Structure 1
Amino acid sequence: MPQYKVLFVCLGNICRSPMAEYVLRHQAEAAGVAHRIEVASAGTSGWHDGANMHRGTLNKLKRQGIDNRGFTSRKVQKSDGTDFNYLIAMDDDNLAELERLFGHRPEQIFKLTDLVPELGYTHVPDPWYTDNFDETYELVRAGSDALLKKLGLV
């Protein structure tokens, strides 16, 4: 049974949040703590329910040697507020939607960039619009590293 359950959340659940899900899972496996953390992702919109990741996310994970199989996009569910220890948003809009659904709980619901303020970002830019999957990956990687440290897993 995992000690921590983390849900990454973006708008459509095909670019940023699945990248974060797979990066954190990969980092936890590399650190030998995968048995202590369960990772998933969801979107606030539900626009892509049942879809695979965006090809840009798939390709970036593949280039980094990160397994990208077995993903299916889904919308945030009411049960996520109790099923997960942490709901981590990619931007202010996603954070606002999570807080609308589950209430203001800053110890449980926050933005990924809150974990890495030294990088100077207030949100993870959406590569759906920027087409910069490298930038998204670097932010997700740094945020995932910081989360593993925050949880005392590394």
Structure 2
Amino acid sequence: MKRISILFVCMGNICRSPLAEGIFGDLVAEAGLSGGFTVDSAGTGGWHEGEPPDRRSIAIAKSHGIDISGQRARRVQPRDFRDFDLILAMDRDNLAALSKSAPPGANIRLFGDIALGTGEEIPDPYYGGPGGFELVYTRLLTGCNSLLETLGVERASCNGNTSSVR
């Protein structure tokens, strides 16, 4: 069975998208579906390339039992549009930036549309305090749970596993 590859994208790849990658990866592992997914994150800008996630993102993830400290920021590359089945932008500005550089047929969506069903943007917590990071974590967790349920149900039933996400 083909792996589903998902790329989470924000502006600098240090706050929202690393959290989304960490949360979704953790949920996939908990559900016993690690062999069915490839998960990564990137930014539309390259200011932080090679750097770890923001210390506040690392801290909020850690407080929920997820370690994202080994991730390193990278910029979206042209090959990403070919290599990933689904590219999820955290907000409309990043969605627009991705759409400008994407070839025809790239599956680029707003996280809030496909994962939350609300069309909402995931706010950038960079200039705020810890409360903003907790809010982002909560919205990403809700969306990642929904996304995994949608994408993972068929895999779980084919593998004979039961998903802890249901």
Q: Is the TM-score greater than 0.5?
A: yes
Between structure 1 and structure 2, the one with the greater Rg is 2
Residue 105 of structure 1, CA deviation: 4.9
The ranges of structure 1 where at least 4 consecutive aligned residues each deviate by more than 3 angstroms after the TM superposition are 103-106
| Matches for 1:99-118 after TM superposition, within 5 Å | 99-103=99-103, 105=105, 108-114=107-113, 115-118=115-118
Corresponding letter in the other structure for 1:78: P
1:53 match: secondary structure:
coil
Identity %: 38
Take 1:41 and 1:68, find their aligned partners in 2: how far apart are those partners?
11
Corresponding letter in the other structure for 1:16: R
Corresponding letter in the other structure for 2:102: F
Residue 7 of structure 1, CA deviation: 0.4
Take 2:126 and 2:57, find their aligned partners in 1: how far apart are those partners?
10
Partner of 1:25: 25
Take 2:11 and 2:75, find their aligned partners in 1: how far apart are those partners?
9
1:113 match: secondary structure:
helix
Query: Which runs of 5 or more residues in structure 2 are unaligned?
Result: 154-162
Corresponding letter in the other structure for 1:113: G
Partner of 1:11: 11
Residue 48 of structure 1, CA deviation: 0.3
Query: Which runs of 5 or more residues in structure 1 are unaligned?
Result: none
Aligned mate of 2:126, from 125, 128, 134: 128
Corresponding letter in the other structure for 1:135: L
Taking only aligned residues, the RMSD between alpha carbons, in angstroms, comes to 1.7
Corresponding letter in the other structure for 2:5: K
Residue 2 of structure 1, CA deviation: 5.9
Query: Is the CA contact 1:6–1:86 (under 8 Å) kept in the aligned structure 2?
Result: yes
Take 1:16 and 1:92, find their aligned partners in 2: how far apart are those partners?
14
Aligned length, in residue pairs: 151
Corresponding letter in the other structure for 2:93: D
